[in-house]
Structure 1
Amino acid sequence: MLILTRKQGEAFLLGEDIEISIAEINGDRVRIAINAPKDVKILRKELKDAGELNKESAISVSSEETLFNITNLTEKFKEKNKKTT
């Protein structure tokens, strides 16, 4: 991990075409300006983490629902077979 110290108005580059500059410092908050090509995806980490957590939850719920549905179908199939025999 690289840690940089920058003052308001200073910037640094990531590669050749991404510039990150310190736009404003106000107390414990820092406003960062990012100049990058349109094809570069920029996403706050907490949003990415929340999205991954939601995806994991959806997969888990989906798996539980699938298991529940399979169990119900199996029971219904057994009941139907008992009635026909």
Structure 2
Amino acid sequence: MLVLSRRIGESLVIGDNVVVTVLEVRGDVVRIGIDAPRSVAVNRAELLAELESSNQAAASPSEDTVAALARQMRERPPG
């Protein structure tokens, strides 16, 4: 990980076309601006983690669902 110190109004460039600028610092909160092409996805890490967790929960059947499916298979007549 590269760690840089920047002051308000200073920027850093990522690749050829992404510019990150420090806009404001208030206590422990830093506001940044990100100038990137629309083709570059810019997301907050905590939202991506929450979305991934939510997707995994939705894709995993609950124990109740598994038990209900097992019960249906036992009750289904053979053939």
Classify the TM-score, shorter chain.
0.7 to 0.9
Task: Please say which structure displays the higher CA radius of gyration.
Answer: 1
Could you say which residue in structure 2 is the equivalent of 1:14? 14
Structure-1 residue corresponding to 2:61: 61
Q: Which amino acid aligns with 1:18?
A: V
Q: How far, CA to CA, are the matches of 1:12 and 1:60 in structure 2? A: 41
User: If the length of structure 1 is used for normalisation, what is the TM-score?
Assistant: 0.80
In structure 2, C-alpha distance between the alignment counterparts of 1:63 and 1:37, rounded to whole Å: 44
Tell me the amino acid that sits aligned with residue 68 of structure 1: A
Measure how far apart 1:8 and its partner are. Answer: 0.6
Q: CA RMSD in A?
A: 1.9
How far has the Cα of 1:59 moved from its partner? Answer: 1.6
* TM-score after normalising by structure 2: 0.86
Give the paired residue count: 78
Q: Percent identity?
A: 31
- For the pair 1:50 / 2:44, whether they are aligned, the reply is no
Q: Give the AA of the match of 1:54.
A: S
Question: SS where residue 4 of structure 1 aligns?
Answer: coil
- Equivalents in 1 of 2:43, 2:64: separation in Å? 31
Runs of 4+ in 1 over 3 A off after TM superposition: none
The 1:43–1:64 alpha-carbon spacing in structure 2 relative to 1, beyond 3 Å, is farther
Find the aligned partners of 2:47 and 2:64 in 1 and give their Cα distance.
25
